[in-house]
């Protein structure tokens, strides 16, 4: 199993450009998440999807849109990138087993907006 995969690994954008960050998991998990990680701050939730076809806003959703294409894939779109969106983006999926939840993270996408 590859676990959680993310593409691209690194991207440079100019202000106002758009892009989509891709995430896929092969663990058959229902729940998937998008986080951003900035220096000196904890991971912050952007969007969450409990299952295919459902999405919910997290703590910092402004400037982002998401699509839960199917059970495996959860994409994050920046319609008009801003320098404040320079960050490392992590996708995660989770499963609950015997009442205990485990969250698995992807390797991250490093985004620089100029």
The residues binding another protein (CB under 8 A) are 4, 31, 33, 40-45, 48, 50, 56, 58, 90, 92, 99-108
Nearer to another protein, 50 or 80 (CB): 50
Task: Find out whether 91 and 105 touch, Cβ atoms under 8 Å.
Answer: yes
Nearer to another protein, 9 or 14 (CB): 9
Nearer to another protein, 57 or 79 (CB): 57
Rounded to 5 degrees, what are φ and ψ at 40?
A: 80, 0
The CB density around residue 103, as the number of other CB atoms within 10 Å, is 13
């Amino acid at each position: 199993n590859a676990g959680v995969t993310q593409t691209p690994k690194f991207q440079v954008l100019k202000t106002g450009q758009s892009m989509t960050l891709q995430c896929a998991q092969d663990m058959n998990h229902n729940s998937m998440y998008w986080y951003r990680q900035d220096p000196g701050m904890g991971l912050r939730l952007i969007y969450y999807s409990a299952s295919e076809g459902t999405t919910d806003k997290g703590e910092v959703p402004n400037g982002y849109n998401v699509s839960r294409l199917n059970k495996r894939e959860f994409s994050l779109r920046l319609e008009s990138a801003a320098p404040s969106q320079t960050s490392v983006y992590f996708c995660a999926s989770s499963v609950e087993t015997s009442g205990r939840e485990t969250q698995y993270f992807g390797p991250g996408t490093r985004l620089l907006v100029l």
